Amino acid sequence: MAKKKAEVDFVKDWKSNPFRQPKIDKIVVNISVGQAGEELNKAKRILELLTQSKCITVRAKKSVKEWSIRKGQSIAVKVTLRGDAAKSFLKRVLFVYDNRILRNSFDNYGNFSIGVDEHIKLPDTKYIPELGITGFDVSVRIVRPGYRVKIRRKMRSKIPQHHYISKFEAMEFMKNTFKIEIVDVMEERFY
């Protein structure tokens, strides 16, 4: 009963004060290959087709001998989406999971991440035989207005703890905005 009351308080708080209203700041879509070469080029083409945006390559920060990765080697590609492009892409990704997100996908600061094992599961995506099938990760950051003060380059400043989005507030925001369901365990067919 207390949890329901807290969820109602979030919505009332958002309506009374527009600076408390959460929003999606950005979505980062990542395909990690682990090696440079043809596989990385295929992943880059797939990511550009999925997001309709230019992607960048990510280099290894340190060497890992067991995985044959050297420091500075290109191992992944990523795209950062903002605004309407981010929302439309997130809707397509949520369609894969029947508009359900695991409760454990959310962290204590309102961010959440989900993964798709085959990119052809997205709606309106065609299979291209020369590119193959690959999976990708989607990380979403939910913030309040004014969060930029913490990350801007000039005159950066700290923000108070109550300005961060809590885990439950992020879940309530996703329920209200995208009409999703928060579940504890996914069915077998999603894995």
CB half-sphere exposure, 138, CA atoms < 13 A = 27
CATH number at residue 62: 3.30.1440.10
5 located within any domain: no
9 located within any domain: no
* pTM as predicted: 0.86
Rounded Cα distance, 107 and 94, in Å: 18
> Tens digits of per-residue pLDDT, 140-188?
999 999 888 898 999 999 988 888 898 999 999 999 999 999 998 876 5
| Per-residue three-class SS string for the chain | CHHHHHHHHHHHHHHHCHHHCCEEEEEEEEEECCCCCHHHHHHHHHHHHHHCCCCEEEECCCCEHHHCECCCCEEEEEEEECHHHHHHHHHHHHHHCCCEEEHHHECCCCCEEEEECCHHHCCCCCCCCCCCCCCEEEEEEEECCCCHHHHCCCCCCCCCHHHCCCHHHHHHHHHHHHCCEEECCCCHHHC
Question: For residue 151, what are the domain limits?
Answer: 22-190
75 located within any domain: yes
pLDDT the model gives residue 35: 82
101 located within any domain: yes
Cα distances (angstroms) measured from residue 38 to each of 67, 74, 76, 77, 117: 18, 12, 12, 13, 20
Rounded Cα distance, 4 and 30, in Å: 35
Q: How many domains does the chain have?
A: 1
16 located within any domain: no
pLDDT interval class at 1 (50, 70, 90) = very low
What type of residue is 41? N
pLDDT the model gives residue 7: 54
